[in-house]
Amino acid sequence: MSYHLPVHQTVALKKEFKVENIIVFRSTKLDLTPSFGPGIDNTSVNIMSAADDYLLHINISFRRAQKAIVFNSKRANRSWGPEERVTLEGLFLNGLHTTITVYDHGDRFQVLIDYKTIHYYVKRFHKNGAAVLYKYNTNFSVFSETLDVTMYDSFANIRVIPSCA
């Protein structure tokens, strides 16, 4: 199933995101230039539960100056948990066709950048995903204004597109 995910919008998934499922977020733009202007420079992609819990929050932008991607989760109307960080250096090598892939293992999420595993995020609470959210807090996002999002039931359902040689 494919979706268009405009910035500052939540898109409901037609089927729940659950164990063995895969979500791929694709952007046609990538700009990792650190922003040092006023305000919080913050771009994130999120997998949300039906109760508005952040099951997985992947934050890139305001961490660009710190050269890190931050992972977190939080229950609706509660505080964020402890952050988990991964260095930004050496990631996002594809530039114009950047992908963030999330695979639900049941007890943890496997997160891949441009199809390379960068982190395993242990689930802090076990719910299925019901929506995806893309947002930023300033007038700048590291990604395109709309992300293409594709959800797969399993790896078996991913079709490999042959490269043009």
For β-strands 98-104 and 22-27, DSSP reports them as antiparallel
Report the predicted TM-score, pTM, of the whole model to 2 decimal places.
Answer: 0.88
- Report residue 164's pLDDT band, with 50, 70 and 90 as the boundaries: very low
Q: How far is CA 23 from the centre of its chain?
A: 9
For the chain, what percent of residues have pLDDT higher than 70? 81
Distances (CA, A) of 78 to 52, 73, 91, 112: 11, 10, 31, 27
CA atoms within 13 A on the CB side of 17: 30
What are the backbone angles phi and psi of residue 157, rounded to the nearest 5°?
Answer: -90, 0
User: Which residue from 13, 114, 101, 117 is spatially nearest to 58, judged by alpha carbons?
Assistant: 101
Hey, what CATH topology would domain 2-157 get? Jelly Rolls (2.60.120)
How confident is the model over 68-126, as pLDDT tens digits?
Answer: 889 999 999 999 999 999 988 778 766 678 899 999 999 999 999 998 999 999 999 99
Helices of type H across 39-100: none
Domain boundaries, the chain: 2-157
- Report residue 20's pLDDT band, with 50, 70 and 90 as the boundaries: very high
